[in-house]
A and B are shown apart, each in its own frame.
Chain A
């Protein structure tokens, strides 16, 4: 079946550091890939997405590239802020899955001043 594996947290960084969260997936065909962010006490918000191989999603300084050859969708940000502290979920939506999302376990990111 389909699955998403992302690096365990918590990831603790200083402000202005470089952030990478690894995400790999298993799925047949060409799924769509997403990163969602969840701030404390809130629901999930879409951060970025990519729907086909080699697509790059970007938003708020975050980027991720859909790599079919390595089945990966790693999230990166060049300079994090304290306000980026949150839980980040990698997710996929498989072809013909009614848009249902399969989430990774989530990675907590803590950014300190």
Chain B
């Protein structure tokens, strides 16, 4: 089945130690999104790619970076994780950017910062 895959499902890192989360998709979608979801809150968009064009949300901290080496893969890099970065990170894809397009979500990676 076509899907969005996130690895790992659970990631533990230490305060200040860089961490990379990965997302892959078999849907061949042009658009990929990264969201941060803290406990009992709504997902918050960090950035998105349209093909290789990167779009950062204005309030996304500089500590968060992203790479998209090809259509299928997208990575979220947290350069120096703080305790406040502990959250579920969700990757999503979409076939286009018109308002009615559905986003397909992966299962998420839960990040713990010690």
Contacts and interface: CB of A to CB of B under 8 A. Distances in A.
A100 B41 contact: no
Contacts of A105: 41-42
A44 B48 contact: no
Interface stretch (B14-22, B66-74, B79-87, B103-111): B103-111
Chain B: interface size category: 20 to 34
Nearest to B106: A43
A95 B6 CA distance: 29
A26 interface: no
B107 A100 contact: no
A82 interface: no
A106 B97 CA distance: 23
Interface string B16-40: 0000000000000001010000001
Contact of A42 (B43, B102, B108): B108
A103 B108 CA distance: 17
A99 B94 contact: yes
Contacts, number: 64
Given A106-B40, A106-B42, A101 B108 contact: no
A51 B31 CA distance: 19
A81 B36 CA distance: 30
Given A43-B90, A105-B41, A99 B97 contact: yes
A32 interface: yes
Given A49-B102, A98-B55, A99-B31, A43 B41 contact: no
Given A43-B90, A44-B90, A97 B99 contact: yes
A98 B50 contact: yes
Contact of B100 (A41, A49, A104): A49
Interface of B: 4, 6, 31, 33, 40-43, 45, 48, 50, 55, 90, 92, 94, 96-108
